[in-house]
Amino acid sequence: MSTFQAPKGTYDLLPPNSATYLAVREAISGPLKNSGYGYIETPGFENVELFARGVGESTDIVTKEMYAFETKGGDKLALRPEGTASVLRAALEANLHKGGNLPVKLWYSGSYYRYERPQKGRYRHFSQVGAEAIGTEDPALDAELIILADQAYRSLGLRNFRILLNSLGDKECRPVYRAALQDFLRGLDLDDDTRRRVDINPLRVLDDKRDAVQRQLTGAPMLRDYLCEACKAYHEQVRELLTAAGVGFEDDEKLVRGLDYYTRTTFEFVHDGLGSQSAVGGGGRYDGLSEMIGGPALPSVGWALGVDRTVLALEAEGIVLDIPAATAVYAVPLGEEARRVLFGTVTALRRAGVATDFAYGGKGLKNAMKSANRSGARLALVAGERDLADGVVQLKDLESGEQTPVALDAVVDEITRKLG
């Protein structure tokens, strides 16, 4: 055992479980790749101010959870706590929005970091797949992203998830609601930190999970009563497009999400089998974020889906993904000459696209066959001096136990035929 362990609140992904995480990432990204989204990768750390402005200075993410540090050169940086601000920063820096082909559609996958109280489904290091459509205001884009996420989850076999949907208004109607909500909240018995939040972003108080706060919110003004006609019409179009696509959703008037940059459409995917950490992903429209971080007006929408939470949802539903074995063929040489010959055969099989492994370290037949079975391989190639003298190797079906000699120069063709 090593002297060191993974830091508190983090985890290591190891085989065979890591294969499930890879399959989840592939399932989530698959619909995006088929819908015009190109892959983007950003640094694991950014300027602190990017998140302070973009995510919001009143959010728990910035005030309590962000890993911030100062470099030897005096730069103030932070490990990325979320993906949207970084992706938008990168798109602006590269002038992707100036090509005239809007929206700029991007997807990404990576690790994110928040200093949270570790518990199942909530870690200090976590993995997400995200998507952003930058530069266009269109309810069809909002609906598209929700539909693609729904498609991804269903392709994994998930059924017990729900989509919560709300509208947060825009710069025209939300200030009126904000003032009304502040008046209401200032009359409640709140702690000093929450009172400061009332002044900075009162909508975040609606998202407070503490019972002592939620009990006092009965009778709070609802944003739906303050939406302007343009926001009402926009939201109704999103709802109609989702309904026409056969994607069910629930209206949730208290849904505000945990980031300050959302406007109009906001949504969350929740799974009823995960207890208090029920959110598996979510997102929304962020029409003013580009201006917040020094860019031009670029209405945009996006989401991020948690890979860790999705794996927990699969476990909650008892879903085991059908993941092909990492190895299809396992080669077992008996003797130095067989080792030389079979290693060449292994290389030829790999070049032909067949996943093949080799009994390294001079294992005896018994131990090598145990390794072959543990690898999940369908076939084993076994060769000794007598086999090589006859110009053959033994091809063993590890499922049926049937073993047949195959001419050495025909092994690759025979194996690819058997594996289809």
Percent of the chain scoring above 70 in pLDDT: 97
pLDDT of residue 32: 98
Confidence of residue 205 (pLDDT cuts 50, 70, 90): confident
Of 104, 142, 168, 108, nearest to 302 by C-alpha is 142
Mean pLDDT is highest, among 146-150, 188-192, 287-291, for 146-150
364 CB-side CA count, 13 A? 2
Cβ-based neighbours of 7, under 8 Å, separated by 6 or more: 124, 125
Helix residue spans in 117-191 (DSSP H): 139-155, 174-185
pLDDT of residue 260: 63
pLDDT of residue 88: 96
Give me the residue label for tokens 């309590």.
Answer: 64
Does residue 198 surpass a pLDDT of 60? yes
Cα gap 264→275, rounded to integer Å? 28
Cα gap 84→152, rounded to integer Å? 20
Cα gap 48→55, rounded to integer Å? 11
Cα gap 284→203, rounded to integer Å? 15
CATH 3.40.50.800 residue ranges of the chain are 329-419
pLDDT of residue 228: 92
Q: What is the DSSP string of 211-253?
A: HHHHGGGTTPPPGGGT--HHHHHHHHHHHHHHHHTT---EE-T
- Separation of first and last alpha carbons in the chain: 42
pLDDT of residue 192: 84
Give me the residue label for tokens 């063709």.
Answer: 413
CB atoms within 10 A of CB 376: 17
pLDDT of residue 273: 85
244 to 64, 135, 141, 144: CA distances (angstroms): 41, 25, 14, 12
Does residue 405 surpass a pLDDT of 70? yes
Residues 201-224 have a mean pLDDT of: 85
Of 126, 144, 175, nearest to 34 by C-alpha is 144
CATH 3.30.930.10 residue ranges of the chain are 17-173+227-316
Which pLDDT tens digit goes with each residue over 97-124?
998 889 999 999 999 999 988 877 788 9
Cβ-based neighbours of 300, under 8 Å, separated by 6 or more: 88, 103, 132, 133, 134, 135, 136, 285, 286, 287, 289, 290
Mark the binding-site residues, compressed into ranges.
82-84, 114, 128, 132, 257, 261-262
Lowest mean pLDDT among 33-37, 172-176, 296-300, 410-414: 172-176
Does residue 5 surpass a pLDDT of 70? yes
Q: Given this structure, which CATH class describes domain 329-419?
A: alpha beta
Which pLDDT tens digit goes with each residue over 350-399?
999 999 999 998 888 999 999 999 999 999 999 999 999 999 999 999 99
Tell me the two tokens of residue 68.
């911030």
pLDDT of residue 201: 79
Of 362, 167, 361, nearest to 256 by C-alpha is 167
Which pLDDT tens digit goes with each residue over 214-273?
888 888 888 888 999 999 999 999 999 999 999 999 999 888 765 667 889 999 999 988
Q: Does domain 17-173+227-316 have CATH number 3.40.50.1220?
A: no
Q: What is the mean pLDDT of the chain?
A: 91
* pTM score, whole prediction: 0.89
Beta 356-358 vs 329-333: how paired, if at all?
Answer: parallel
pLDDT of residue 59: 66
Mark the binding-site residues for L-histidine, compressed into ranges.
82-84, 114, 128, 132, 257, 261-262
Do 329 and 379 touch, CB atoms closer than 8 A?
Answer: yes
Does residue 332 surpass a pLDDT of 80? yes
CB atoms within 10 A of CB 244: 9
